Structure 1
């Protein structure tokens, strides 16, 4: 294999448009990598001059996969700016909705976006259904594990292949030498892929019950738009009553069962065939969380179920405190981004002073390669204390582990023990995938606790879900600013709002895929995607870069959250009129 630059554009099975260019040496090892978001951001400009209480409805449409996360971050930003506490019930409702997003999102990512990097669908045609049933039954007590069931799934795959219409399984690198699962494990994984499609439809109903619809459920500055009825009601009742509460309990129980019986066993089974992927794809070795899942009516970081903190240089003995309002801690850089700052491209800006001035200086599409010495992405480069930070499930699991969270330690030690791996194996491509699975177990179990607490409040007569104290804008200060923090499934999410005379004068969103997928900064520090690809990667087949997909997908990219679209000439594509 001769040295060359490999281009993967677009990266598929993600949300949004991402281009990866990887420079290889003669042996196919990746020596340099570059991450480019190929859409342009614009939501900040749309929000200027609008009522702060409406911002969530705009920001939530940033992405349909993340669905509620930008809505939550937005209302929290306004509540922080106006010192606006919400009732305990509203906090519990939000926790349940965010928790459901985690579990649904992680299951969807594993089976529908990432599993096909490890699972050879066509190989499943060679499997023995009885042997597949024996394998599945040895891993868990999941009821859909009979030989007849796997035989039916195999026939469905065979029909796809023979018709030449693989549908959702089209365009895979089937037969690639990097696939290692035996046919029976492949058949089991494909069957669970299909099961997860049906499962997530049921799990998503929790958002519809508590937020009126899904995707993009409703939210409200100051609480939750979910009236609670103490009386029993029928299925057609609009308030949350005993019927709705029982549905929520059943949905949470279904989440727990699928995670315990399918998701965790499948992750461990697949990981056991790819242990070498616990030795590559680490990247920067720095990890950041902003924290989430508060208890009580206030937004006190001391009560977060997932704490805020930073880990530097893999050192789990020290958890550094974070302050996202401090300009010395959080800045966004644009040295290699298609934006301009009034202070120049080499200097970073804190999001309260953030600017969104577009300046495309790249080649005219279509082009062969990025000019990586200049700007090459529509994403900015966030930094914490000047350092590149990875965010996401791995960061959260490591912060919980470092903080002595016993359930996390027990779960991580169990998984690593079964795989006969040290804790350091988590700093890897497969470690990110495993962390996402472990986190799903932790969050699903937390959800039942929040549900029981909500029910207890209702039984005690507490039905309050909204704080009306500051709803009148005439009571607001002339100037206010706030940051809405939340841990989205993909990582630390920060919405910064500046309010002047009752309207938004500035709004900036620093999102997980900006932290992870951003380009180099002025100091030449590579972003997490780029650094991860430069750690121990060798391509077996240059025009089938499966290895690149594995590591990039391990971050669960959501580029729509980081950038938004314009045509190559910069012309307006759509105008939204709000009546």
Structure 2
């Protein structure tokens, strides 16, 4: 038995450490540890609730939009504010393009290199790559000349002695299965996606003034004015530019991302039986209309049983700290609901031992959220499963299309491959739906409806003396919740339970593994010095928590250290 330590996991946001025991070439146990403390909840206490969204988007450098909307929804829930339809539609468009851009970035720039061997692309026949790409879609950049130019660019990287963005990886690893032509195609699209995502996210600049950290969210609606006759407001020209960019986003998803996903997945069908994890899934639902009905449904699935979707009750959410570097005032045995959550680092033990963690005790700055005391996976897989099992028409059609093309059944969804595929399905659904919200917005404006704010309860004198609320959002990475308590017009307590808190959680009071930990059990590892397989499963969740690997023997002695990408 050997113990591998991957610290930090790279191609993610933040700092994540994975320890894993390997016996006979497979992972038999695993521990997920975040080595970074976050304290913004403490900063929020005593502040104006209407400002919370501006602070909470600083939780992360890339997840800014999602924390804004969850925070605002929490305050609106506490104060019982209903926003006008235009504000809801504008928010849906902002959230929608955030989802699409985020998924494309994840697939190509954070996860694809776990499956794509860039150096193999140097041996590809550009004409063969062109024929492969043309068989998948009618994307314009499918010519042999184009793929030859990408290959030449790669060769120049190699000739210079530097691989640029493709450095520090396990090139040539025996777990790579794609032929050279498929590797060249995927590498070319990796580079294209870099340029594409810069353009489509300009929608945030139009509707939110900037990206990241949008500026136009407000409790009660939006602050961007609508005026067809003003260049300083949302007018016809800007709406048509948004329409163009949404079309560009949809085209890339349909003609590049999804075909690449299916092509890559067809070579890795064995991964449809790896990385299944806890088997419980939670989705908060997303994209409400003016009446509050969600386009993507809310629900929970237990034990991989997609024959029924259970309703979600926010009162059943609690966080445990038995294996986290926190101590609750009344002890760790009982979890705390977020309204009563504590973020004090009252760890009374020695300094957290980052060199080698005592995984029998406290080993992470992440708490352990549980739903009705159950471990839940959140993210695109949960979102797609809940929609599929709920009979969501578009979701069912997209899932069936992917399963049919790959020749696998629904059980394949419960895996590393299924998690990666579900992200593409989720992206496709939203890329097709977001233009429809824009059309609704345009129709409202055409009827003379320019309202973007509720204009109620903005004055704190109208608020109750005490109020509690929660805001849920299905962020690209999964179920995100913000909980707020307000007293005397100030924030009394604030807690955020983010997607990676659910997925990266350590063990709880019952010893139940978190989703990362559970998903790694049974994963094959061909070479402990190059644990590519660990990266595949962990990256399939898209952790938001960052590059050296330590390998130790069962006694904890380091035997080798390698750099990881």
The change in CA–CA distance for 1:99 and 1:284 in structure 2 (over 3 A counts) is: same
What is the CA-CA distance between 1:362 and the residue it aligns to?
A: 6.7
Q: Paired residue for 1:204?
A: 201
Which residue among 421, 430, 453 is the counterpart of 1:466? Answer: 453
For 2:358 and 2:504, the matched residues in 1 are separated by 17
Quote the residue 1:567 is aligned against.
Answer: none
The residue that corresponds to 1:223 in the other structure is: 221
In 2, the alpha carbon distance for the partners of 1:51 and 1:559 equals: 28
Q: Indicate the SS of the match to 1:310.
A: strand
User: What corresponds to 1:9 in structure 2?
Assistant: 7
> Which one of the candidate residues 283, 297, 308 is aligned to 1:307?
297
C-alpha distance in 2 between matches for 1:365 and 1:88: 49
Distance 1:8 1:361 in 2: 27
- Which whole-Å CA distance do the structure 1 matches of 2:93 and 2:348 have between them? 44
Equivalents in 2 of 1:466, 1:106: separation in Å? 30
Contact 1:111/1:196 (8 A) holds in 2 = yes
- Tell whether 2:316 aligns with 1:352: no
Gap regions ≥5 residues in structure 2 = 547-565
Aligned to 2:118: 121
| Cα-to-partner distance string for 1:57-93 (whole Å, 9 max, x where unaligned) | 1100111222200000001110000001111000000
Query: 2:472 maps to what in 1?
Result: 485
8 Å contact from structure 2 (residues 477, 541) kept in 1: yes
Q: Which residue of 2 aligns with 1:243?
A: 237
Tell me the equivalent position of 1:422. Answer: 409
| Structure 1 residue 146 corresponds to structure 2 residue 143 | yes
Equivalent position of 1:22 in the other structure:
20
**2:73 paired residue among 72, 76, 80:** 76
Distance of 1:413 and 1:240 partners within structure 2: 39
Contact kept in structure 2, 1:286 and 1:389, CA below 8 Å: yes
Instruction: Tell me the equivalent position of 1:563.
Output: none
Q: Hey, what's the Cα distance between the residues in 1 that align with 2:232 and 2:32?
A: 46
Task: Please tell me whether residue 431 in structure 1 is matched to residue 418 in structure 2.
Answer: yes
How far apart, in 2, do the equivalents of 1:283 and 1:227 lie? Answer: 46
TM-score by length of 1: 0.93
- Residue of structure 2 equivalent to 1:440: 427
Structure 2: how far apart are the matches of 1:546 and 1:480?
48
* Counterpart-to-counterpart distance in 2, 1:367 and 1:332: 23
Show the counterpart of 1:271.
Answer: 265
Shift of 1:410: 1.2
- Aligned-partner SS, 2:358: coil
How many correspondences in the alignment? Answer: 545
Contact 2:328/2:346, CA 8 A, preserved across alignment: no
In 2, distance between residues paired with 1:222 and 1:544?
51
Q: Give the deviation of 1:230 after TM superposition.
A: 2.6
Give the SS at the match of 2:52.
helix
Contact kept? 1:230, 1:463, Cα under 8 Å: no
Asked if structure 2 preserves the Cα contact closer than 8 Å seen for 1:222 and 1:467, the reply is yes
Partners of 1:374 and 1:41 lie apart in 2 by: 21
**Structure 1 residue 537 corresponds to structure 2 residue 520:** no
Alignment partner of 2:226: what SS?
coil
Partner of 1:95: 92
Mapped pair 1:61 → 2:58 = yes
Distance 2:37 2:59 in 1: 12
Is the Cα contact below 8 Å between 1:499 and 1:505 reproduced in 2?
A: yes
Q: CA deviation at 1:467?
A: 1.2
179, 182, 191: which one aligns with 1:182: 179
Match of 1:408?
395
Q: How far apart in 2 are the matches of 1:141 and 1:413?
A: 22
Corresponding residue SS for 2:64: coil
Separation of aligned partners in 2, 1:313 and 1:330 = 18
Q: Is 1:384 aligned to residue 368 of structure 2?
A: no
Give the deviation of 1:165 after TM superposition: 1.1
Q: Quote the offset at 1:361 in angstroms.
A: 5.7
Secondary structure of 2:491's counterpart equals: strand
Change (3 A) 1:497 1:143: same
Cα distance, 1:508 vs. partner? 0.0
Q: CA deviation at 1:368?
A: 3.8
How does 1:543-558 map onto structure 2 within 5 Å?
543-558=529-544
Question: Separation in 2 of the partners of 1:364 and 1:503?
Answer: 34
Partner Cα separation in structure 2 for residue 167 and residue 533 of structure 1: 30
SS, match of residue 9 in structure 2:
coil
Tell me, in whole angstroms, the C-alpha distance in 2 between the residues paired with 1:136 and 1:194: 15
1:321 maps to what in 2?
Answer: 311
* Distance of 1:133 and 1:362 partners within structure 2: 60
Q: Tell me the equivalent position of 2:555.
A: none
- Tell me the residue number matched to 2:556: none
Hey, what's the Cα distance between the residues in 2 that align with 1:363 and 1:16?
Answer: 24
Q: What is the CA–CA distance in structure 2 between the aligned matches of 1:183 and 1:522, rounded to whole Å? A: 48
Q: Which residue of 2 aligns with 1:333?
A: 320
Q: Distance in 2 between matches of 1:167 and 1:365?
A: 35
Alpha-carbon RMSD:
1.1
Question: 1:363 touches 1:370 (CA, 8 Å); kept in 2?
Answer: no
Q: Is the 8 A contact 1:362 1:375 kept in 2?
A: no
Match in the other structure for 2:256: 262
Q: Given that residues 79 and 221 in structure 1 are in contact (C-alpha distance below 8 angstroms), is that contact kept between their aligned partners in structure 2?
A: yes
2:327–2:347 Cα contact (<8 Å) kept: no
Match of 2:498 in 1: 511
Counting only pairs closer than 5 Å after superposition, residues 364-383 of structure 1 correspond to structure 2 as 364=351, 367-383=354-370
Q: Distance in 2 between matches of 1:197 and 1:263?
A: 13
- 1:167-214 Cα deviation digits (max 9, x unpaired): 111101000000010000000000000000000011110011001111
